[in-house]
Structure formats: C-alpha cells, structure tokens
A and B are shown apart, each in its own frame.
Chain A
Amino acid sequence: MKIVVGEGSCGIAAGAEKVRQALAQQDLNGATLTIAGCVGMCYLEPIVDIYEDGKELKRLVRVTENDAQKIAEYTQTGDESAIESLLVSDEDKQFLEKQTRIALRRCGIINPDELSDFLEADGYTALKKVVCEMTPEQVIDVIKTSGLAGRGGAGFPTWFKWNAARQSEGEEKYLICNADEGDPGAFMDRAVIESDPHTLIEGMLIGAYAIGAKNAVVYVRAEYPLAIKRLERAIEQATAAGYLGDNIFGTDFSCKMTIKAGAGAFVCGEETALIESLEGHRGMPRLKPPFPAQSGYWRKPSNINNVETFANVSWIINNGGEAFAAMGTEGSKGTKVFAVTGKVKRSGLVEIPMGKTLRDVIFDIGGGMKGDKAFKAVQMGGPSGGCIPADLIDTVIDYKALGATGAIMGSGGMVVMDESTCMVGMAKFFLDFTAKESCGKCIHCRIGTKRMLEILTRITEGNGQPGDVELLEELCYGIKDGALCGLGQTAPNPVLTTIKYFRDEYEAHINDKKCPSGECSALIEYSIDADKCRGCTLCARNCPVGAISGTVKNPHTIDVNKCIKCGKCLQSCRFGAVVKR
C-alpha cells in the first residue's frame, strides 16, 4: 500500500505537510508514506491518495491532521468505513475525469523529488528517441505537424520559432524557458514545475537539440520558492544520471541547464525584457526586430518558450504530431491548461482540448457559480486580456474565437465573476497593476497607463465626467498603437472589453454616481433595516469611527456623513439587518 500526500504550494498552504507529519506518527502497517505534487483539484486540498495493488485508487479530500488516525485504521483493518467520510464524491471525481491531461499528465501522481518515479512513467524516453534516432529537422517537423503553439499567451507556432533559431548561424545558442508566470490568477506553470519538473527539463532538452543549443536556462519568478527548489533538485538528479551535461545518451549532444530567479517584475514575462533581466539589467524590453531567434541572450540566437509549451513536447514526440493535432480546432491544436478561480464552485487546474467552450469549463467541470449566483463575466488572459460576458459563454476555446471577443486566450488564468464584481472596478484593478508594472521606457505605456488609471479612479470615486468613456477609448487606441512591447500594447484590453460589454456600468458610475454591483465604496451607502435590527449593539461597537448610534434592543442607525464604508457593520451583524446599496 502506498499513501501519497499532495504537496504543491496550495496543498501545503492548506495544511498538507501537517497531515503528512501526523500520518508519519501513526502505525501505517508497513504502507509507504510519500508525496506527490499538485493534481490540480485545489478546492479539495489537502488531498491524500491511497494506492493498493489490484484496487481502485482511493482519493481522500479535505484531509486534516485529525484524520490521520482514521487512515491508519484503514491500513490496519482494510475497513473502508474508517475513511468513508473523506472519500472524494463521484461528482467531484468528474472534475478530473472530464479533463484530457497531457501537460499535467503526471502532476499529483508521481513524486517530483524522485527521478525513479519519472523514469517509471516513461520519463526521458522521448529525449532518447530524439537524440538517438532523429535529426533536429525531423524534430521540428513533428512539432510542426502537432500544431503546438506558444502556451504563454501569444499562441505563436512553436515549430516556427525553433526553426528560426535553428537557421541562425553560430555555435553559441540558448534555449530559454519563461517560467515568469506573472499573470495574476495563473498558476499552471507553477503546478508543472512543482509536480513534474523533469517533464520541463526533457521538453527543454528536446528544444535545445532542435535549435542546436548547448545551454539552457530557466527563468523562474521569485515568488515561486518551492518550484525553484524542486527544479534545482531535478536538475541535479538529471545531471548525475546523465540526462543533462555531456554526451547525453552517448551521443554528440551536450547541454547544461541553469536556473535564474526573477526578482519581481511582471514585464520580465515579455521575452526581450526577460533576456535583459537574465543579463543582470533592469527588465526593459528591446525593439523587435531583431527577434531573439537572431539576437537574444548575449545577442546570440535564442529561443524562448513557456513552461506549458515545453511540457507538451515529450508527449508529442512519443505519440506523434498527428495525435496532438487530432485534438482541438482548425487553428488551435492540442490541449490547454486553465487555472479556474474566482466565484466558481470547483476552483483548480483544468486541462481540456481546444474546441471546448467556456461553458464546459465553468459550468460543467467547474461546477457552476458559488452560491448559485448569476454568472456575470469571466476574465481571461490577465492584465493583457479581457472580460467575456455571460451572453458569450458558449465561445469556443480557440485562439481566434477568443480574440474575436476582444479578450485573448492568455496564459490560462480564468477568473470567474458574479454580480457582486464591479466591471469598472476590474478595469481599474488591472490598470493599477499595469501602471505599477510598466517599465517606463516608452511614453505611451508609462504615461498612458497612469492617465487611464487616473480616469478610472475618478469614475469609481464618483467623480466621473461625461466624455470620460470616449477619452478612455481614445487613450486605449493610442497606447495600443504606440507602446513598445506587449505589456503596453495589451494594457488597454481590460478597459476596452469592459467598455464594450459593460458600458452601462460606466454610465451608471459617471451619470448616476451609482455602482450597480455595490462594490465601489464611494458610491455605496450602508444603512440599517429597522425591521430586522435587534439592537444588539454589535455593529456600533465594531464601527471604527463611531458612526452608528442606538440603544440596546432598539433599532440602530448609521450616520452616513461619518461612515467610512469599511463594511465592519455588515460583517458583524448576525441578523442581516445591515444593507449595502
């Protein structure tokens, strides 16, 4: 029997390490206790899997340290009733069963710290096939057939970039992995690195072989310490076992791999800014052309791909380009991993073939809206993306189809919103982010994002003027035209899509000084429903500015002039008497 505790960052944050420590204290009747990475069923963490020969996997969810005894009992007696309350429901099983896992195929199953687990799961067989039986041109051809496109968000054909780097002259070339994953709301890459780091290494080595690079670098964002730790260990193991370093599999192909940590800059997700950062500079993008394939890291030919892109490579080599291309749509092949979060019931990682719809992800796999509230919009593509409204829920997941809505596929972040989210507030949220993250090099982005933020702030504070929406639109198109890099060029997207689909909310804020969602504190008012108020005085006692008056057992009132709209009264009231409008 093998007991596996899921320990990705989310699992650990939910208490998985404590669960494992509690299990280690128990007599487990000889069962092996080990860890795996993240299976992506984040809403059910901590997760403990029990493997037994000849029996179906038993997945225990929302496990706490106090459950260790029950699990120990099961190992001793085999009596399922001991763990019945912890078993994953048939409904929740559907979350995974409805997915098609390629990039995430080993995540949450193997132990990321054990090379042997990876090897047993066909690890490094694709690399062997590539370096022993294929030429770089043949590798590029297979990737071309597969239709694999950049999973970082740009969706550019991967084979084309590899080929361009291959064609560039010179011995000194670099294969770089962009593991900066800066989009707020996205954690697909983190899951891959924490759960199956060797898959990334293998994909990168195949890419290095294809382009003719002897050096590979992974640029991981600073905010992912566990991912960096696990990847460092995997690189050590791979090097010791000969999968990295000189004469891999006894061939002429040699390649070294290093990790460089980012230091907290969203713009470093842009490939030329990433290169500047690798070179120890401020992460400011370069003008393209020349492209990295011709002049990249240290001005040498370089190829940069996202983690998820590389995670698909070994599967494609082993199963063939046609098999990957058999999934998806005409223009978008294979699968895509999404990080589905926000107001959805089942939050986690969803990998599905392109061609499914947003409805499939949010309502079918995602289980629909928390609290059964109405679906309002889904934000895709982070600060470069846009908000897709309810009437477009059947949009097909395809680069072009999503692009047509004004949003983008993006790296995979999908934040689901309900009626309580203010869309003007969302636009402001994203501009706040991009204005802070702007590197400052070009005027359009540096000043443009700031001006847009100022206008949006005025609108959410009740100081919007007629003409503000038109001014925002003018700024948006100007910035898109003039900005130097992708950050600036796409920063207007959240504003443009929210204006396109939720113009009425902008107008309510500007003309009526009202926030329909009740989120913008300057435009809402707290009051007490005298019929429901029991005069318990709890709200008055919690009010930080003494704005609530009333005597015990009598209805209380809020002085709106003193009220700072912190919401403490609403939180404190146990009778639903506090109203936010």
Chain B
Amino acid sequence: MNERVDLDLINPVLDELAQVKGSLITILQKTQDIYGYLPKDAIVRISERTGIAESEIMGVATFYTQFRLTPVGKYLIMLCQGTACHVNSSELILQTIKDELGIEDGETTEDGLFSLKCVACLGCCSLSPVMMINENTYGSLTPEKTKKILKELREAE
C-alpha cells in the first residue's frame, strides 16, 4: 500500500533533526505524530535527508512496537497485556472488544473508527484490566463498561 501523502509536512522535523546524530527514532515518532503512521514515501524522504539507508530505517521502524506502517482508525484502542491485567481477566475484555467491533488484534473497523492493538504493560496495574484509547486511560474495566465506552465514542460521531 502506497498512499500519497503531503511530504512537506515533515520538512520542519527534518530541518531540525536530519543532521543530528542519533535522532532517527525521534524523527520517526514525530513523523508518525503527523500522519498517524509511517507512510512509505515519508521513509524514502527521511532516508534522502538523513543519509540513512531505507533498509536501516525500515529495520528500526519494524523493531519497535510503537511504529505503524499502515494507517489506524480514529480511535486506537490499546489493550494492556500486562501481568496484573492478565490475572484480572484482560482476556475477557479482549473478547468483548472483538465481539463488539468485529475486528482482531491489529485490525481496523470498516468505517475507520476503531483500531485494536494488544500492547505491553501500560503501568496502571492497580486499575487492571486497563486500556488506552488514544491519550486516554480507562481502568477497572468490565465487559459492560467496555461496551459503554465504545458506544459513547461511536455516538459522539
């Protein structure tokens, strides 16, 4: 998949960081903040400006779980897979989300509204099970509470 994106958007990032050694991960993070993911064209542009081989950039982009090479939905649901959440039945919440939205881990709903990603421990263990949706954290989840949160987000559209 090779969507056309406006590459001028990352010029300020590259102007600031392209020649600062060790900045690749920061550049990729800021690029993802702009586009919501890492478009192939952007990786090519980053390679051109930094002098780092595309293959090396792809190596870094695929190593870290934070980076996405495909677009995500408006709401990215990150369900914590940490130990405390596991012990407090995060599996049940995962099943609830899968049933409600009809998607698997790593997928996006047809309407582009929700994406689901199982992630490593979010560090809110006392409130397990926990999920983050974009920047917001939701804890002490039950299947009912989870359905309610998803419903409210859908209705707000």
Contact = CB atoms under 8 A, between A and B. Distances in A.
Contact of B65 (A13, A265, A379): A265
Interface stretch (B4-12, B22-30, B69-77, B100-108): B22-30
B73 to A, nearest CB: 19
Given A280-B60, A566-B95, A266 B127 contact: no
B60 A185 contact: no
A495 to B, nearest CB: 15
Nearest to A348: B126
Nearest to B121: A184
Given A222-B66, A280-B22, A282-B63, A9 B137 contact: yes
A355 B136 CA distance: 39
Interface string A39-51: 0001101000000
B65 A571 contact: no
Contact of A341 (B21, B22, B126): B126
A269 to B, nearest CB: 11
A264 B67 CA distance: 8
B139 A183 contact: no
B121 A182 contact: yes
Residue with the greatest number of chain B CB neighbours at <10 A, chosen from A43, A263, A348, A415: A263
A342 B84 contact: yes
A517 to B, nearest CB: 11
Contacts of A421: 87
A260 B23 CA distance: 9
B138 A13 contact: yes
B127 A283 contact: no
Interface in A266-309: 266, 277-283, 298
B84 A415 contact: yes
Nearest to A383: B83
Contacts of B24: 280-281
A9 B143 contact: no
A382 B83 contact: yes
B120 A223 contact: yes
Contacts of A379: 83
Given A14-B139, A185-B82, A263-B28, A9 B123 contact: yes
Interface in A181-237: 181-187, 190, 222-225
A415 B127 contact: no
The size class of the interface chain B forms with chain A is 35 or more
A13 B143 CA distance: 17
Contact of B60 (A262, A282, A343): A282
B156 to A, nearest CB: 16
B83 A185 contact: yes
A13 B84 contact: no
Given A223-B120, A343-B87, A263 B125 contact: no
Interface in A169-191: 181-187, 190
A14 B23 contact: no
A266 B120 contact: yes
Interface in A420-434: 421, 429-430, 433
A544 interface: yes
B25 A341 contact: no
B120 A264 contact: yes
B79 interface: no
B124 A9 contact: yes
Interface in B117-143: 119-128, 130, 135-140, 143
Residue with the greatest number of chain B CB neighbours at <10 A, chosen from A187, A379, A421, A571: A187
Residue with the greatest number of chain B CB neighbours at <10 A, chosen from A9, A190, A266, A339: A9
Interface residues of A, number: 56
B34 interface: no
A245 interface: no
A413 B84 CA distance: 9
A12 interface: yes
A342 B88 contact: yes
Is the contact region of chain B dominated by helix, strand, or loop, or is it mixed?
mixed
Interface in A340-392: 341-343, 347-348, 379, 382
A182 B59 contact: no
Contacts of B63: 265, 282-283, 439
Contact of B143 (A186, A282, A430, A571): A571
B87 A13 contact: no
Contacts of B128: 341
A277 B63 CA distance: 10
A567 interface: yes
A184 B83 CA distance: 5
Given A14-B140, A282-B63, A42 B83 contact: no
B115 interface: no
B86 to A, nearest CB: 6
Contacts of A433: 81, 120
A10 interface: yes
B59 to A, nearest CB: 6
B112 to A, nearest CB: 23
A143 interface: no
A13 B130 contact: yes
A63 interface: no
B95 A190 contact: no
Contacts of A566: 95
A417 interface: yes
Contacts of B119: 223, 264
B82 to A, nearest CB: 4
A519 to B, nearest CB: 10
A261 interface: yes
B81 A13 contact: no
Interface string A408-419: 000001010100
A19 B42 CA distance: 42
A429 B87 CA distance: 10
A573 to B, nearest CB: 14
Given A184-B83, A260-B26, 6 more contacts: A13-B138, A222-B66, A261-B25, A263-B67, A430-B83, A571-B92
Interface of A: 9-10, 12-14, 42-43, 45, 181-187, 190, 222-225, 260-266, 277-283, 298, 339, 341-343, 347-348, 379, 382, 413, 415, 417, 421, 429-430, 433, 437, 439, 544, 566-567, 571
Among all A-B residue pairs, the 7 with the closest Cβ atoms: A42-B126, A184-B82, A263-B64, A280-B24, A264-B65, A184-B121, A13-B137
8 contacts: A10-B126, A182-B121, A184-B81, A184-B125, A261-B25, A278-B22, A280-B21, A421-B87
